[in-house]
Amino acid sequence: MCSSDIQVDVIIPTQTKYLDLIGSIGERIGKDLETFEGDREALAYHLNLVLTEATINAIKHANYKNTEDTVRITIQIQEDAVIIKVYDHGQGFDLENVPVPDFENPKEGGMGIFFIKTLMDSVTYTRQDDCNVLEIVKYLK
Amino acid sequence: MKLNLEKMNGYSVLFIQAERIDAHNSGELKEYILDMIEQGEINIIVQLELVRFIDSSGLGALLSGYKNTAARSGKLALSNLQPQVLSMFELTRLNRVFEIYADLNEAFENEP
């Protein structure tokens, strides 16, 4: 990691009241990304949204029986990219088989992963040791 | 979530008094709207002027209200969307589903 990189590392209980905190960190980071040449206000909103959606996804997949379960979120800010990793301890899901929303017959759910895939540049979901990692990359150039 | 309900020009206008609608408070919004519909308030405008952020669950709560008013021959329209919030409706094509007005005066030009 070069000296200009920043990493934010947050661990929260699996409770929805922390979504605002996580999303707000992303929004603030987006507003300050001076190397980004596009619409920084839009980027800030998108980072807020993607972090919110990825975190609620991890909370939903978490083990509800374990009240001490946590979700870990890391945000790495590099010169040319923002890398978000969200770690959950649940059973996992198949990212590739999440259906695209049916825009002609919209439904109430199922838009979260669509937002992440559409607004970011790369998304993967892998098993690592005792947890799953959703890794999201947004390139800045 | 703080919500204010006012009767105006034949509509039930629901003012969202929160900057953020996400999975923490969208369930409450959805239930509130469904309660309104149960009580016969089927012509609803949701005024979103203060809302800076909406996530997929917030869109889902509004869509639930839309479907339930439509099923009773009513409607649920939206007004005063901030640009980034509007862009979420465009991304999901929900701007083709909802009637979206710049402000309440424009909404009132269409009678319930």
How do the domains of chain A map onto residue ranges? 6-139
pLDDT band at A35 (very low <50, low <70, confident <90, very high): confident
Q: Tell me the per-residue pLDDT of A5-31, one tens digit each, with 9 for 90 and over.
A: 899 999 999 999 999 999 999 999 999
List pLDDT tens digits, range A53-90.
999 999 988 766 677 789 999 999 999 999 999 999 88
Q: How confident is the model at residue A129 (pLDDT cuts 50, 70, 90)?
A: confident
Query: With left for phi above 0 and alpha for psi between -120 and 50, is residue A2 left, alpha or beta?
Result: beta
* A99 Cβ under 8 Å from any chain B Cβ: no
Would you tell me which residues 49-88 of chain A have a C-beta closer than 8 angstroms to some C-beta of chain B? 49, 52-53, 56
Reported for B87-91, long-range contacts at CB under 8 A and 24+ positions apart, including other chains, are B87/A42, B87/A45, B88/A49, B88/B54, B88/B59, B89/B59, B91/A115, B91/A118, B91/A119
CB contact under 8 A, A49 and B23: no
Whether the Cβ atoms of residue B69 and residue B37 lie closer than 8 Å to each other? yes
Element at A76 (helix H, strand E): strand A70-77
Of A16, A20, A108, the CB nearest to B60: A108
pLDDT of residue B110: 85
- Pairs of CB atoms within 8 A across A/B: 65
Q: Which amino acid does the sequence have at A56? A: I
DSSP per-residue codes, B19-69:
SEESTTTHHHHHHHHHHHHHTT--EEEEE-TT--EE-HHHHHHHHHHHHHH
Question: Residue B92 forms beta bridges with which residues?
Answer: none
Q: What pLDDT, on a 0 to 100 scale, did the predictor assign at position B112? A: 79
Residue B38 dihedral angles phi and psi, to the nearest 5°: -60, -35
Domain residue extents for chain B: 3-108
pLDDT at A110 over 90: no
Identify from B56, B86, B89 which residue to disrupt to test chain A contact, counting A C-beta atoms within 10 A and taking the largest count: B56
Q: Which of A19, A108, A110 sits opposite B22 (nearest CB)?
A: A19
The answer to whether residue A126 neighbours chain B at the CB level (below 8 Å) is no
Q: Please determine, for residue A38, whether its predicted confidence score (pLDDT) is greater than 60.
A: yes
Residues of chain B contacting A20 with CB distance shorter than 8 Å: 20, 22, 24
Mutate to test the interface with B, among A49, A57, A113 (most CBs of B within 10 A): A49
- The CATH-assigned architecture of domain A6-139 is 2-Layer Sandwich (3.30)
CATH class belonging to B3-108: alpha beta
CB-nearest to A111 from B59, B64, B87 is B59
Task: Give ipTM to 2 decimals.
Answer: 0.95
Residues of B in contact with A42 (CB under 8 A): 84, 87
pLDDT tens by residue, B50-101: 999 999 999 999 999 999 999 999 999 999 999 999 999 999 999 999 999 9
